[in-house]
Structure 1
C-alpha cells in the first residue's frame, strides 16, 4: 500500500525515470542467447537517452503548461522489451534500427528475430488506438497505417534472402480500433498472433527466481502477422523414414535398452517427447508442420549439433568429475596433454552447473533431431576418442533421435562461406532452421558470425564438454 501511495505521489518525470530504470533491469535478465550484444547496446543507449532527457527537466519546468512532453519513447521501448521477453521470440539480431537495401532505400524495423522458429520482423506501435488512422489525416506527417505497412511489406518481399522474413508481425501495445483491425485482415490478410501475457512480478532467471522486476502488462495489446513468403521453411515430408533403426524413445525405452545410462542421462531423455508412443502424435506433428498453423512448432523439435551430442555423452557430464579430480595431476597431464586445463575447466563448470540438468529444462517436451552430417561426425569422434561408457551412452542417446537428411535452409546457405561461416556449420544450423527447430550448440563463434550479418538464428547455448575416454 505504501509503495502504491508513493507511486501515486511521484511526479510525472520521476515516474518516467522509474519506468526507464525498470526497462534497464528487464534487459539485464534477457538471456544473451536470445538478444545479441549489439541489440542490447542499442536498447540501453535509447533508454539512457530518455533518462538523460528526463534528468534535464526540473520539477518547475515539468509543471509548466508550455513545457514539452516528458517523453514520446518510453511506451514504445516498453512494448519492444515486452516482445523480446516472449518465450517464442528467439535469435534477436537487430533491434530498433533501419534495414538498408541501398543508399537511398531503408525501412525501420523494431525487432528482427525468430518467432516459433520462423524468421520475422516486428513492427511495434505504442500509440493510442484512437490516434491510429488507416488512410492518414490532413497533416503531411500522418501518412496513415496502410501506407506505412505497405512500405514495410514491400521492403520485406524484396529484401535479400538472408534477411527476408516469413512474416511481418505488427504489435499494437495499447490495442487497435475495430475498423482498422478489420481493414488489416481484409487488405493484408492479417492473422492473429498470440503473445504471452507476461507477469513482471516473477521473472525466471538462469539459476533462480526474482520478484523485483516491474513493468507494463499491456492487457489491451493486439498482435497480427502478415505473411510474406512461405511460412517458415518446413516442407511436407515424412521424417519418420529418416531415423536410426529401431524403436525411438519413450519412458519405457530406458528400461528395455539393455544399458543403464545413469540417473542424469535417463532424466534428460525421459523428459524429451518420444517418437514412438503413438501414431496420433506423429500425425499431429506432420499436420502442424505441413499446415504451418503457427501453433508452437518450435516446441515440437530441437536440433542437436555435434558439440551438443559430445557434451551429452561425455564422462564429464555423467558423474566422472570426482574420479578425475581424485587422479594425480601428473597422470591427467600425461593423459590429456595440452588439453589438461581445458578439461579441468569443464570439470569445474560441470560441478557448478550440471549440463544435463541445464539442458533438461530447455529441451523438455521436445522431439530431438540430428542431420546426417552430425550423425557421421559424431560417430567418428566417438569411435576415435570415446571410452567404452561414452560409446554406450552415444548409442543409447542416438536411439532417442531421428536422423534427417542434410537440408539447410535457403537463407543460411545464402550467406557467404568464410572461415567464420564454414559450410559444414551452415549445413547443420541450416537444417535446424529448415525444420523451425532450435539448434543446441556450444559453437557460439558461428552463431555470432550469423547474427552480425543481421540474420536471426534460433539456438540454445550449452557449455562445452569433451570426451575423456571414460
Structure 2
C-alpha cells in the first residue's frame, strides 16, 4: 500500500509539473526527468518485491522533496524562475566546484536562492560528529553562503531562503539565527508565507539569510499620484488604473517595500496604443485583403494573426490583471524608441493614444542593474535589451514585454528575471 501510494504521488507531481506555466521549458524538463526517474525506480522496486519473498519494501526518498519544490513554484510570490534542482557552478578558486540549489528565482523583487529540506527534523544535525560522508546543517549553510558570496554577479542572490517542510528543532532554529543571522519568516513575512505553508505544510518553517548581492532597496517611496483624466478617447486605460510617479527631485530614486512598479518595454507600449487593441479588429477584417497586403506588405499574416488573437483574448483586459494599480515607468531608451516608432508608423488615433499614455508613465534614466550588465553582450543578449530589462531590474520592477527570446536567453544564463509576458500587437496606421 505504501509503495502504491508513493507511485501515485509521483504521477500526481508529474501532472502538476506539466501544468506549471511560470517556469522555462528547460526547468520543466529537469523536474519531469527527476519525477519520472523516481517513478521508474518505484516501478522497478514494485516488480522486484512482487517476485521476491522479502517483506521489506524500500520506499522513495525523493518524491516528498519534489512535491515541496513544485508546491513552492506554484505560488504567486515566486517569479523569474531560471533554474530548478541544479548545481550552481562556482569559481575555480573555491574549494568546491558547485553547490546545489533547488530554486533560483525572484522573491519580493529581489533575486534569491531557495533550498528545500523534506527531512524529518529528528535526523537534521547541526554538526556531523560521526564518520559518515553526510555533513551537518552548519556546513551546508556555510557552503551556500560562501557560494553566494563568490558566485557570478548575474547569479548572486540577495538572500538564501531555507524551507523545511517538516519543520526544524528549536535548538537548530536558534543556531541558524545566532550564527548566520537568519530571520524566521513565519514570524515576520506576512501573507505570502501563509500562502506558502497553506494546509499541506502546517509544520513547515522558513528562514531567510541575507548574503548581499545587489542592494535591497529599503528607502521610502517617492510621492505618487493617480491621474484621473481618463478621456473618452482612451476609455480602456481607466481599467488599467495606472498611477504616475513623481521623481522630480530624485537623481537616483530607490524604492521601498510597499511600492509596486511595473517597467514597460517598447512592445508593451505599442500593444497598449495599437488599433488592434482598441476596437479596430472589425474594421481590419472588413478591409479587402489586397488593401491590407499592400499596407502591411510581408507582415500581413502576422497582423491578421494578432487580430484573431485579440478577438479571442483582448489584450487590455489581460494586461489589466497584471498592471492595474501599479506605478508605470519607462527608461529613456524606450521613451525615445516608442515616440520614433509611433511617429513613423502610427496613425492619427494611435498617435493620440500614445500621447495620452505617456502622461501615465514616468521616464527614468537608463540605469541597468549591475547583475544584468555583468552578462556578456551577444546577439541574443543585445545591449539595447540589457538596458531596458536591466533598468526594470534596478528598480525591482517586472518588465512587461513580448520579447521572450531575450527573457529565455537571460534564463539560460542562469539569471532570475521578473517579467510579465504579453502577446504582440502592431501599429496599424489607425
Q: Measured at CA, do residues 110 and 80 of structure 1 come closer, stay the same or move farther in structure 2, by a change above 3 Å?
A: same
- Distance between the aligned counterparts of 2:217 and 2:265, measured in 1? 19
| 1:17 aligned residue | 7
Q: Measured at CA, do residues 70 and 343 of structure 1 come closer, stay the same or move farther in structure 2, by a change above 3 Å?
A: same
Deviation for aligned residue 1:21: 1.6
Q: Measured at CA, do residues 127 and 112 of structure 1 come closer, stay the same or move farther in structure 2, by a change above 3 Å?
A: same
- Distance between the aligned counterparts of 1:168 and 1:64, measured in 2? 47
Q: Conserved in 2, the CA contact under 8 Å of 1:120 and 1:165?
A: yes
| 1:79 aligned residue | 68
In the alignment, structure 1 residue 186 sits paired with structure 2 residue 178: yes
- Distance between the aligned counterparts of 1:42 and 1:216, measured in 2? 27
| 2:250 aligned residue | none
Taking the TM superposition and a 5 Å limit, the aligned residue runs for 1:316-335 are 316-335=276-295
Q: Measured at CA, do residues 417 and 317 of structure 1 come closer, stay the same or move farther in structure 2, by a change above 3 Å?
A: same
1:136 paired residue among 128, 138, 144: 128
Q: Measured at CA, do residues 158 and 68 of structure 1 come closer, stay the same or move farther in structure 2, by a change above 3 Å?
A: farther
Q: Conserved in 2, the CA contact under 8 Å of 1:119 and 1:232?
A: no
Moved more, 435-444 or 64-73: 64-73
The C-alpha deviation readout for 1:93-127, integer Å capped at 9, x for no partner, is: 11111112256511111111111221111111001
Q: Conserved in 2, the CA contact under 8 Å of 1:346 and 1:465?
A: yes
Deviation for aligned residue 1:175: 1.0
Q: Conserved in 2, the CA contact under 8 Å of 1:198 and 1:217?
A: no
1:261 paired residue among 217, 228, 234: 234
* Structure 2 unaligned residues grouped into runs of 5+: 248-252
In the alignment, structure 1 residue 388 sits paired with structure 2 residue 388: no
In the alignment, structure 1 residue 220 sits paired with structure 2 residue 197: no
What secondary structure, in the 3-state scheme, does the structure 2 residue paired with 1:380 have? helix
- Distance between the aligned counterparts of 1:21 and 1:137, measured in 2? 38
Q: Conserved in 1, the CA contact under 8 Å of 2:272 and 2:316?
A: yes
Q: How many residues align?
A: 418
The C-alpha deviation readout for 1:305-359, integer Å capped at 9, x for no partner, is: 0000000110100110000000111111111111111110110111111111111
What secondary structure, in the 3-state scheme, does the structure 2 residue paired with 1:58 have? helix
- Distance between the aligned counterparts of 2:407 and 2:2, measured in 1? 42
- Distance between the aligned counterparts of 1:437 and 1:187, measured in 2? 33
- Distance between the aligned counterparts of 1:343 and 1:378, measured in 2? 19
- TM-score norm. by structure 2 comes to 0.90
| 1:349 aligned residue | 309
| 2:390 aligned residue | 430
- Distance between the aligned counterparts of 1:128 and 1:311, measured in 2? 51
| 1:117 aligned residue | 109
Moved more, 333-342 or 186-195: 186-195
Deviation for aligned residue 1:248: 5.6
The C-alpha deviation readout for 1:216-243, integer Å capped at 9, x for no partner, is: 7211111111111156554859766xxx
Q: Conserved in 2, the CA contact under 8 Å of 1:239 and 1:402?
A: no
| 1:399 aligned residue | 359
- TM-score norm. by structure 1 comes to 0.83
Q: Conserved in 2, the CA contact under 8 Å of 1:233 and 1:409?
A: no
* Structure 1 unaligned residues grouped into runs of 5+: 1-10, 201-214, 241-246, 280-285
| 2:80 aligned residue | 91
